[in-house]
Amino acid sequence: MSTTADSRRQAFENNKLAKRLRRLVGEAIADYDMIGAGDKVMVCLSGGKDSYSLLDILLSLRDHAPVPFEIVAVNLDQRHPGYPEQVLPEYLEGLGIPYRIAVQDTYSTVKRLVPEGKTMCSLCSRLRRGVLYRVASELGATRIALGHHRDDILETVLLNMFFGSKLKGMPPKLVSDDGKHVVIRPLAYCKESDLAEWAEVRAFPIIPCDLCGSQETLQRKQVKAMLQSWEKQHPGRLDNMFRALQNVVPSHLADAKLYDFANLVPTGEPDAEGDRAFDPAPVEPLAPLRIVRNP
């Protein structure tokens, strides 16, 4: 009896998770107009939990979407030693969806050009993007969907602040580096922990990354650990941080190219944003100023 009750409870929780992820992805798509009628969405599938979840959720949403759109899955086989090249084709054949496996030996290039012990991500990512852009053109894809989630976006913001001196993150939608494609991140509102749980529920055949993912000294891993520590101490902090990216006040930053500080003049009208920071507005007006002594 207890086993049956536990199974029902787990099924209930799994259903809640599925609904939450579909809702968040649907909201992100709507908020940023990511997918329109007739779009051909190229879902970049790495074999990790995030890209599997992205494909799984988009397939579910496609069946109930108010507009028709196509999905094609694309994986880049970078020729890592020991890469299980049969896993993704078998999985995608089972789904019965169109897919392409692009084979490009970027692994040898990265190992040759990056000194031992140095971070490989930047070069690997650049090479991978170039291949995916080419494949998107060949397939006639109108959208390139990547599996970056909320936590990835926040990590990128902090990495750019700490090491690039830029207030810059991963936008939910952008034009690709080559200017020819629209890149979307439908998982922008999703927590990594939810995606990890969903990957377990769906039993995706995960393929671990043994190139950059195995480098323990990556700054991104350190920033991830810092964010996880903050969230553990103050639940909801990461949600607040992400909402801050959607609620930017240029007049209260310091970029003179973004806001015309040079020509700033008093208008005689209250500033809606004010300069109170987190101070509450006074409940009662202050008493009239009294001059004690003039110099």
| Tens-digit pLDDT string for the chain (295 aa) | 468 888 889 999 999 999 999 999 999 999 999 999 999 999 999 999 999 999 999 999 998 898 999 999 999 887 777 788 899 999 999 999 999 998 887 676 766 666 665 565 665 677 788 889 999 999 999 999 999 999 999 999 999 999 899 999 999 999 988 889 999 999 999 999 999 999 999 999 999 866 554 554 578 889 999 999 999 999 999 999 999 999 999 999 999 999 999 999 988 887 776 666 566 665 566 677 677 766 5
User: Cα–Cα–Cα angle for 239, 150, 75, nearest 5°?
Assistant: 170
Single out the residue of 113, 111, 19, 118 nearest to residue 61, CA to CA. 19
Q: Tokens 């927590």 belong to which residue?
A: 191
User: Which tokens belong to 147?
Assistant: 């599996």
Cα–Cα distances (Å) from 17 to 10, 145, 210, in that order, read 11, 21, 29
Name 215's Cβ contacts closer than 8 Å, sequence gap at least 6. 119, 120, 221
The beta-strand segments (E) located in 62-201 are 70-77, 99-103, 143-145, 173-175, 182-184
Phi, psi of 29 (to 5 degrees): -60, -45
**20 part of a folded domain:** yes
**71 part of a folded domain:** yes
Segments forming the whole domain that contains residue 105:
2-245
How confident is the model at residue 125, as a pLDDT? 72
Helix, coil or strand: residue 87: helix
Helix, coil or strand: residue 113: helix
User: Which tokens belong to 134?
Assistant: 């080419």
**52 part of a folded domain:** yes
Helix, coil or strand: residue 101: strand
**9 part of a folded domain:** yes
Single out the residue of 77, 91, 88, 46 nearest to residue 187, CA to CA. 46
Largest CA distance in the chain: 87
Total number of domains in the chain: 1
Q: What CATH number is associated with residue 183? A: 3.40.50.620
Name 75's Cβ contacts closer than 8 Å, sequence gap at least 6. 44, 45, 46, 47, 88, 99, 100, 101, 102
Phi, psi of 84 (to 5 degrees): -80, 80
Cα–Cα distances (Å) from 211 to 25, 72, 116, 248, in that order, read 29, 26, 12, 36
How confident is the model at residue 221, as a pLDDT? 87
Helix, coil or strand: residue 269: coil
CB contact at 8 A, 120 and 212: yes
**263 part of a folded domain:** no
**159 part of a folded domain:** yes
How confident is the model at residue 228, as a pLDDT? 94
How confident is the model at residue 129, as a pLDDT? 82
Complete edge-to-edge strand list for the sheet that includes strand 143-145? 99-103, 70-77, 40-44, 143-145, 182-184, 173-175
pTM to 2 decimals?
0.86
**237 part of a folded domain:** yes
Virtual torsion, Cα 63, 65, 71, 77, nearest 10 deg: -90
**282 part of a folded domain:** no
